[in-house]
Amino acid sequence: MPNQSTTPDQVDVRGPRFAAWVTTAVLVIALLVSAYSSVAAAILLGVQAAVFAVGALGGPRKHPFGRVFAAFVAPRLGPVTEREPVPPLKFAQLVGLVFAVAGAVGFATGLVALGLAATALALVAAFLNAAFGICLGCRLYPLVSHLRSTASPA
């Protein structure tokens, strides 16, 4: 895929930020739709959860929004000047998946406050990444990795 990376464990930072912009839009739409239909919001969040699942399992190159970036956006941009590692991005997608599932379950079961809260928290995280390049899941990744390594028997 063009402009993604020359090494398999690094990607162009612009790809995940593009994905975060699309995710931000989806989450805003889900919140707006929830005012009219909790079921529609649950479905939309379910679709976003599936997108997060693909990103968590396959990484940015398999992520649907990452594929759109690679196919249509990256070829129109200048050369890659900054890369970031894949594992923290996959973890961030896992965190997004948890929030999207919680939001979908909340809306689907009538726990609208849960749906709104989970969707709003996911929206804040996506927007911070899109607008400012602050990936909250990526920032949590070293801590979680450290805790996981210290909890594992040597």
User: For residues 154 and 36, which has the higher predicted lDDT (pLDDT)?
Assistant: 36
pLDDT at 2 over 90: no
Instruction: Determine, yes or no, domain membership for 145.
Output: yes
**Average of pLDDT values for 63-87?**
95
Predicted structure pTM score: 0.90
Q: For 110-127, what is each residue's pLDDT tens digit?
A: 999 999 999 999 999 999
Q: Is residue 45 part of a domain?
A: yes
Question: Could you give the number of structural domains in the chain?
Answer: 1
Domain containing residue 92: 10-151
Report whether pLDDT(6) > 60.
no
Cβ atoms of 16 and 135 within 8 Å: the answer is yes
Q: Is position 1 within any domain?
A: no
pLDDT in tens, 88-101: 999 999 999 999 99
Residue 4 is assigned to a structural domain of this protein: no
In a domain, 16, yes or no: yes
